[in-house]
Structure 1
Amino acid sequence: MGEKYDCMQCKESLFGQKFILREENPHCIKCYEELFSHTCEVCQKSISCTSKDLSYKERHWHSDCFLCTKCSKSLVDWPFTAKDDVLMCTECYCDEYSSKCHACTKPIMPGSKKMEHKGNSWHENCFTCNSCQQPIGTRNFVQKDAKNYCMSCYENLFALQCVQCNKPITTRGVNYHDQPWHKDCFVCTGCKQQLAGQRFTSRDDFAYCLACFCNLFAKKCSYCTSPISGLGGSKYIAFKQRQWHNNCFNCKKCTVSLVGRGFLTCRDDIICPDCSKDPHHPAAEEELI
């Protein structure tokens, strides 16, 4: 029975002495500390078995040495974090490394909810509309002059009003005659199709797509009867209240183009001077103009 209570290492009797069992083997205090005690990260002294051993990621400290590296506050029973193996209390870590709120300039504590936009960060309660002061949260907002506005306040304060529907224009606007329009409101007066992105013209301050303008207002070609728009620099021929497309202004008989040439008329036809000399042409019987 005596051998059972001898120190496993030095074989000294443990009768009447304090000892520690490790894997059911008894050790005297001295041998146990020499064999198994950890070294403190700060003071580099052995942590006695009678002292509190604090450990973090396989590192060990005396309780009196377990302090914030920056402010020396005890970290026992308090939240802490580590940066490059350096221990810091939460407050010091935030001052050193955490994002600062763009509104109140105070650190944003790790684990707390924060809002971010274009490189800036806010506490959730600090991310508010500059006008109504209500938290924006995950709602849509607009930033103007480095200030944030909820959509309702932005529209009331800054958005242009569409001249057609009198509602704010927040996206997809059109400027016409120095007046703002919603893209969906800027339509042809005739067919009501959207005009943004396509060619159009106006008459009496009303906008028309080219098809409606030609059908409503353009003169008709005396030859093909199609409208002559005259838009975009297209050329046409006009003579005595009649008009022709350039490519329609041809001799009735030989179809030669009469653009830039002399011509004669016979009833509703136009003919070239050569064809007018034909004795069989009806123009020979008419007075040629």
Structure 2
Amino acid sequence: MWGPAWTLLSLITSFDLVTLNHCHYCMESLLGRRYAFREENSYCVTCYDGLFANSCEECKKPIECDAKDLAYKGRHWHEACFKCAKCNHSLVEKPFAAKDELLLCTQCYSNEYSSKCFHCQKVIMPGSRKMEFKGSCWHETCFVCQYCRQPLGTNPLITKDNENYCVPCFEKQFAHHCYSCKKMITTGGVTYHDQPWHKECFLCAGCKKQLSGQKFISKDDHPYCLDCFRKLYAKKCAACNKPITALGGAKFISFEERQWHSDCFNCVKCSISLVGQGFLTQQDDILCRKCGSTT
């Protein structure tokens, strides 16, 4: 009863020894030879390299089991082949960058592809912090206020004549302050009576409508839109009773505290223009000499 079981155990042990001491692929003996393990199986060096060795990206030869295999994003290199594509210096245990599937040392990458600082014109090395503003790049230490030389970082800034300033320095050096609200004018603005105004602060003294870009009339150092000026101050034509304004150089006729539009200064009988002509008055009417003499 014990004999057959002992025989089976002996056979299993013998089979394991054969598997361990022979190449799993070619079945040649491994005794006294170099071999490699893969997934608990033993292989002679020749079979292992033929079956499993990766091909080197540079020389296209297999990377043998006793050689160091350097891998990057699914690609493999011999240690001696892992070099910068530009200067051929070794990249082993050194920082590098990839561009269009080429490996480059940081110096070559910087010379070829890195941005240059707008201020010092030196290369901004990979890995260093880069500041970008209006399509240009700066070293973080070069991106400073032109006046106080403090780093601007991501703080608000104002540009003048291609130079950048922090807001406090710009206010001290250049900014005008609105005559109305007294706050700084950073862009745009209008000038009225030699004083700066925000566009949104330059309003009609009557209706408070914004006047920037609109026609207006000044009265007693205050600006008025045309409608407000006509309602508040414009004299009325004695003929048509509509407001008379001097906007655009319009001409009007004045006589004994009455005013007329030039086009309205006509004889009340024959309607001939009296501008530049002699005329007669009859109560509130004005007449040409011919009509006045026949009355």
Q: TM-score range by the shorter chain?
A: 0.7 to 0.9
Cα displacement string for residues 143-176 of structure 1 (whole angstroms, at most 9, x for unaligned residues): 2333211122112112234455555322231133
Structure-1 separation of matches of 2:206 and 2:75:
82
Quote the Cα distance in structure 1 between the aligned partners of 2:235 and 2:76.
98
Partners of 1:149 and 1:271 lie apart in 2 by 71
CA–CA distance in 1 between the matches of 2:161 and 2:267? 68
Partner of 2:211: 195
Per-residue deviation, 1:121 = 0.5
Q: What SS does the corresponding residue of 1:115 show, helix, strand or coil? A: strand
Task: Supply the distance in 1 between the matched residues of 2:232 and 2:101 (Cα, whole angstroms).
Answer: 82
TM-score, structure 2 as length reference: 0.74
Q: CA contact under 8 A between 2:116 and 2:138: conserved in structure 1?
A: yes
Distance in 1 (alpha carbons) for counterparts of 2:22 and 2:252: 124
Distance 2:210 2:100 in 1: 61
What residue ranges of structure 2 are gaps of 5+ in the alignment?
1-14
2:75 to 46, 55, 59: 59
TM-score (norm 1): 0.75
Cα distance in 2 between the residues matched to 1:145 and 1:263: 63
List per-residue Cα deviations over 1:48-86 (Å, max 9, x = no partner): 212221122443222243233445554334432222333
Aligned to 1:257: 271
1:94-109 aligned at under 5 Å gives the runs 94-109=110-125
The code of the aligned residue for 1:13 comes to S
**RMSD after superposition:** 3.4
Distance 1:80 1:28 in 2: 36
What aligned pairs does 1:86-235 form with structure 2 within 5 A after superposition? Answer: 86-163=102-179, 167-189=183-205, 192-203=208-219, 206-215=222-231, 217-235=233-251
Residues 208 and 34 from structure 1, CA distance in 2 versus in 1: closer, same or farther, beyond 3 angstroms? Answer: closer
How many pairs were matched up?
A: 276
Residues 44-55 of structure 1 mapped to structure 2, 5 A cutoff? 45-55=61-71
Asked if 1 retains the 8 angstrom alpha-carbon contact of 2:36 and 2:65, the reply is no
CA contact (8 A) 2:280 2:292 kept: no
Compute the displacement of 1:129 (Å): 0.9
Alignment CA distance shift 1:195-1:83 (3 Å): closer
Amino acid at match of 1:66: F
CA deviations on 1:14-40 (whole Å, 9 max, x unpaired) are: 245343344555421223223432343
Greater Cα shift, 108-117 or 161-170: 161-170
Tell me what 1:281 maps to. none
My pick for the range that moved more, 169-178 or 48-57, is: 169-178
Corresponding letter in the other structure for 1:220: K
Unaligned 5+ segments in structure 1 are 278-283, 285-289
**Match among 217, 230, 243 for residue 259 of structure 2:** 243
Whole-angstrom distance in 2 between the partners of 1:247 and 1:113: 73
Secondary structure in 1 aligned to 2:81? Answer: coil
Q: Is the CA contact 1:247–1:257 (under 8 Å) kept in the aligned structure 2?
A: no
Structure 1 residues 47 and 214: alpha-carbon distance in aligned structure 2, compared to 1, 3 A threshold = closer
Contact 2:267 2:273 in 1 (8 A): no
Structure 2: distance between partners of 1:244 and 1:97? 77
Percentage identity across paired residues of the two chains: 55
Structure with more of its chain in helix, by fraction = 2
**Structure 2 vs 1, CA of residues 59 and 162 (structure 1 numbering), >3 Å: closer, same or farther?**
closer
Provide the rounded CA distance (Å) in 1 between the counterparts of 2:61 and 2:134.
50
Q: Summarize deviations over 1:218-237 as a string: whole Å, max 9, x none.
A: 43322444432233233333
| Offset, 1:215 | 4.9
Q: Distance in 2 between matches of 1:88 and 1:38?
A: 22
SS at 1:155 equivalent = helix
Return closer, same or farther for 1:54/1:201 CA change in 2, 3 Å cut-off.
same
Aligned to 2:7: none
Q: Is the 8 A contact 1:40 1:47 kept in 2?
A: yes
